[in-house]
Structure 1
């Protein structure tokens, strides 16, 4: 898997996605071809999924593993499962 991206890397990715979204808005305003707009929407969605995956990876490596111990293992695992279920909806 890709190396964990720090806050600045995630912000950079989010800004790039923001630019993609603004580009999609322009395409809609200019009544561009629906096929081309859908392709750009798919690209933006994939980029968001990538950011979400990186944040989930960061959470597991930086938060989850540091917090887990024998006393709270089941609670944290259930919390992680809940996060993953919400993310994958």
Structure 2
């Protein structure tokens, strides 16, 4: 059972790192567009795409935090709910 959880955690980590690498590439592309003097609208479109990609990565991280709270065997259900509330209050 723990091997399956560890495999899922590795998969989530790899997925998040790939997503962040794509965002990094988008940001580098935006920098290049600005240096070239590309149209503002084109740059704005790329900013929007990068923001959405970063937001998606952030959502995945929040899901990870929530899963950790929910799956914690050391806490009561009430403590888990309190932790989830704290996560969403602090990070959203």
Alignment TM-score, normalising by the size of structure 2: 0.74
Q: Of Structure 1 and Structure 2, which has the larger fraction of its residues in helix?
A: 2
The unaligned stretches of length 5 or more in structure 2 are: 1-8
Q: Could you tell which deviates more after superposition, 52-61 or 40-49?
A: 52-61
Contact 2:66 2:87 in 1 (8 A): no
Aligned Cα root-mean-square deviation (Å): 2.0
State the match for 2:4 in structure 1: none
State the match for 1:22 in structure 2: 28
> When the two structures are aligned, how many residues end up with a matched partner?
81
The unaligned stretches of length 5 or more in structure 1 are: none
Greater RCO, 1 or 2 (C-alpha within 8 Å, sep 6+)? 1
Alignment TM-score, normalising by the size of structure 1: 0.76
State the match for 2:62 in structure 1: 56
